[in-house]
Amino acid sequence: MDTKAKILIVDDEEVVRMSYERIFAGTNCDVEAASSGMQAVQLLQRDPFDVVLLDLRMPGMDGMSVLKAIKQCWPESEVIVITGYPTIDSAKEAVTLGAYDYLTKPVGPEQVIDATAGAMQHKRWALHRDAGTGYME
């Protein structure tokens, strides 16, 4: 399995999107960014992503609404919520809705990379399990 991980960054702040894009520069990943929830859904409709890094507080369609849409329409996509406004309630809701992880800003590059690598491993394991094979490739 030598396919590139496809990552979607969803944040209304350009500096945050650019920061995450820099983190993945030089990695074996295809990265795209969306500045709104609606734009994220449009990109997912065009071509699903392996991992979505998702901000919660955005104008228009907020992160929880995007998370619900992703898990309803593209359940194989792993979602990592990254928020600057963490609460126990939003963390519980995100996990209940199917988020793989919940990180609080500011996040360091290692945190983002580790969470994304874990999400990819989880996705591969889930796909492997769903395929019903008895061993790892």
* DSSP string across 28-80: SEEEEEESSHHHHHHHHHHS--SEEEE-S--SSS-HHHHHHHHHHH-TTSEEE
Domain ranges of the chain: 5-131
CATH of 5-131, one of 3.40.120.10, 3.30.2320.80, 3.40.50.2300, 3.40.50.12160: 3.40.50.2300
In tens digits, what is the pLDDT along the chain, a chain of 137 residues? Answer: 447 899 999 999 999 999 999 999 988 899 999 999 999 999 999 999 999 999 999 999 999 999 999 999 999 999 999 999 999 999 999 999 999 999 999 999 999 999 999 999 999 887 666 555 444 44
Q: Which amino acid is at 45?
A: Q
| Whole-number Å distance between alpha carbons of 124 and 105 | 27
- C-alpha to C-alpha distances, 50 to 79, 80, 115, 128, nearest whole angstrom: 9, 11, 13, 14
Structure tokens at 121: 């491993």
Contact (Cβ atoms closer than 8 angstroms) between residue 128 and residue 136 = yes
> In which element (H, E) is residue 130 found?
helix 109-131
